[in-house]
Chain A
Amino acid sequence: MSAPAPARGKTPARRPVPTRPDDTVRRTPAARRSRRAEAAFGFGMIGLAGAAILLFTIGPILASFGLSFFAWDVITPPRFVGLDNYAAIGSDQRVVHSFGVTAVLAFSIVALQVAIGLFLALLVDQRRRASTKAIFRTVFYLPLLASTAAVSIFMTYMFNERFGVVNYYLTLLGGSGVPWLTSDAGAVVTIVFVAVWQSVGFTFVLFVAALAGLPRDVMEAAEIDGAGPVRSLLRIKLPLISPTVFFACVIGLINAMQLFDQAFIMTKGGPGTATTTITMVIYQTAFQNLQFGYGSAISMVLFAALIALTGLQFTLSRRLVFYS
């Protein structure tokens, strides 16, 4: 689940597990008692977190998997339907379409997040004064401090076709007003914009930290050898921060595939089904239509898609990510 850490001062060094003083001591009854006591202590310590995770994550995954083979509306008892729910997904236009919508949104969001975040981080890394860096870091971080719900609300007003400030400036520049939230393409573009606007500070901060951690001597050596800005970026900086880029892609895609708040608040999945994401379909299926079994099946497919995508990224990373 975790990428090996690049050598870095702050990274906790892996230390071998504390070893027991010596093997012969272990066999005495007193030592055995103390080992048992230590084990009991360990289980006691993980007890609270473990119980919560068992009850509210691991249990529910298994339950969700089990439920996906049943038809259940909460009121009447569950009825076993085998693989029917999964078969239904394939012929359910709404679900298939929502997967396409989610894929388009997620890939655009991640690509823009990483590209813009990296670009801005490289520019900020160029600034010499610490105060300049601090100002930009704060400004780009600010959107992360608002909840997605809050952001979706004020963006809905700003992108309003008739009264919104975005179209006001567009017409001022000689363009015409765009039906941002009331046309299919406009709604997709708006949601991508809002998601990227809010989260680009995340990738930005990641990349700024990674660039600041680059070894100075390597950069200086490259400069003396006559490497221009482009070559030092492509040959030195990018390979050295590739683990961070990879991390941003994995986390970004996992988050973007679960996009819900923006679509729910700004467009209600519309117009039509233009921005109905897979998470919205799960919400509608389970909590509005009370099809708990079918909803579980769709959520299992989303889970499988996330695992497959992450696995694919890890496979690709073997070629593209450089670990020093």
Chain B
Amino acid sequence: MTAPSFSPPAQRSRSAQFSRSALTRRIGRAVGLVVLVLAAMVAFGPLLWTLTTSLREPAESFTNPPVWLPLEPDFSNYAKVFSEVSLGRFFLNSVIVTGLIVGAQIITCTLSGYAFAMVRFPGRGAIFALFLATMMVPVQTTIIPVFVLISRMGLSDSLASLILPAIGSAFGTFLMRQYFLQMPVELGEAARVDGASRFQVFRLIYAPMATPAMATLAILAFTGFWAEFYRPLIFLQSQENFTLPLGLVTLQGTFGTGSISVVLAGVILSMIPSVILFVIAQRRFVEGITAGSFR
């Protein structure tokens, strides 16, 4: 029952020290907020400039000072990227390529991640290590043979040339495996005893439990391939096959000298799917980024 007793002088010095540090802390926090706001302006400024310039009349697109808030937004540039350039086509190509890659990776990586986590087969550890090792390989090291292979397969200058090489993913396999590793084995064992086949155990019990990991994988694959520039630049020749990033650069080549507002309208449009997805699944984006760091 003896309560800790402080002598009065000790108490006073303690509180004095506290208030001094409280003051410096308040100042520190205020300065911190100012720095954060400035940094946010630097981060957001270029995006805002792009948005507002895309809403200006093409003739005024390069006029300084920039107008940060167009009071009379002019949406004609957005119509022009569809009527005068085939941005709709680029958009559709990007949707097809990214959609099929994301869908394929969810399937292949869920299957392989499950096998590496839950199924025993000879050489499992070595094969998994080999999978992981391929994550270190830069795209530049494989691009020349892949380019040759793609042309030999008769897939040059096609959307398939982008999709086919990307249907498997070592990182995706790793991500799914980590998720399946947390799941209890007993569920599957019980189902096996009840007569379920191995694939039924996977499809009916474990795969449905892994949907959060699939969503993270989908986000990662989407952001990666939606923005992809290097492979499309090398694999695609005809403009009708271009994906958005490559299409935008082409657009810049044709419109870039005069009415940049049209190009910037395309830039803004290219961001819309990512922004919508981000608004819906903010937490998954953060999880996707941090998924790799806490291995």
Residues of chain A touching chain B, judged by Cβ–Cβ distance below 8 Å, are: 1-6, 8, 10-15, 17-18, 35, 37-43, 45-53, 55-61, 63-64, 67, 74, 116, 120, 123-124, 126-127, 136-151, 153-158, 160, 163, 165, 168, 197, 200-202, 205-206, 209-210, 226, 228-229, 243-244, 247-248, 251, 254, 257-258, 260-261, 264-265, 278-279, 282-283, 286-287, 292, 295-296, 299-300, 302-303, 306-307, 310
Contacts and interface: CB of A to CB of B under 8 A. Distances in A.
A303 B137 contact: yes
A57 B165 CA distance: 8
Contacts of A292: 144, 148
Contact of B111 (A49, A150, A264): A49
A48 B141 contact: no
Contacts of A136: 36, 40
A18 B136 contact: no
28 contacts: A12-B181, A18-B118, A35-B120, A43-B115, A46-B173, A48-B112, A50-B127, A53-B131, A56-B164, A58-B134, A60-B144, A126-B29, A139-B40, A143-B43, A146-B47, A147-B227, A154-B267, A160-B62, A168-B65, A206-B289, A244-B293, A282-B143, A286-B143, A292-B144, A299-B140, A299-B141, A306-B136, A307-B136
B81 to A, nearest CB: 13
Contacts of A307: 136
Interface string B158-197: 0000001111111011000011011001000000000000
B294 A60 contact: no
A46 B127 contact: yes
Interface in B102-142: 107-109, 111-112, 114-116, 118-122, 124, 127, 130-142
A210 B293 CA distance: 10
B145 A1 contact: no
Contacts of A11: 294
Nearest to B290: A209
B43 A139 contact: yes
B263 to A, nearest CB: 6
A200 B39 CA distance: 11
B230 interface: yes
Contact of A53 (B28, B170, B178): B170
Contacts of A52: 108, 164-168
B67 to A, nearest CB: 11
Contact of B132 (A2, A43, A209): A2
A123 B35 contact: yes
B42 interface: yes
B289 A258 contact: no
A141 to B, nearest CB: 7
Given A15-B181, A228-B21, A283-B234, A147 B44 contact: no
B209 interface: no
Contacts of A67: 144-145
Contacts of B111: 45-49
A146 B274 contact: yes
B8 interface: no
Contact of A148 (B66, B120, B143, B229): B229
Chain A contact surface mostly: helix
Nearest to A17: B120
A306 B121 contact: no
Interface of B: 17, 21, 25, 28-29, 32-33, 35-36, 39-40, 42-44, 46-47, 49-50, 53, 62, 64-66, 107-109, 111-112, 114-116, 118-122, 124, 127, 130-149, 164-170, 172-173, 178-179, 181-182, 185, 198-199, 202, 223, 226-230, 233-234, 244-246, 248-249, 252, 260, 263-264, 267, 270-271, 274-275, 278, 282, 285-286, 289-290, 292-295
A150 B270 contact: yes
Contacts of A209: 286, 289-290, 293
Contacts of A123: 32-33, 35-36
Given A15-B181, A45-B114, A124-B36, A145 B271 contact: yes
Given A14-B181, A39-B120, A147 B270 contact: yes
A253 B62 CA distance: 36
A60 B146 contact: yes
Given A41-B119, A300-B141, A140 B40 contact: yes
Given A41-B198, A158-B49, A251-B292, A57 B142 contact: yes
B285 A303 contact: no
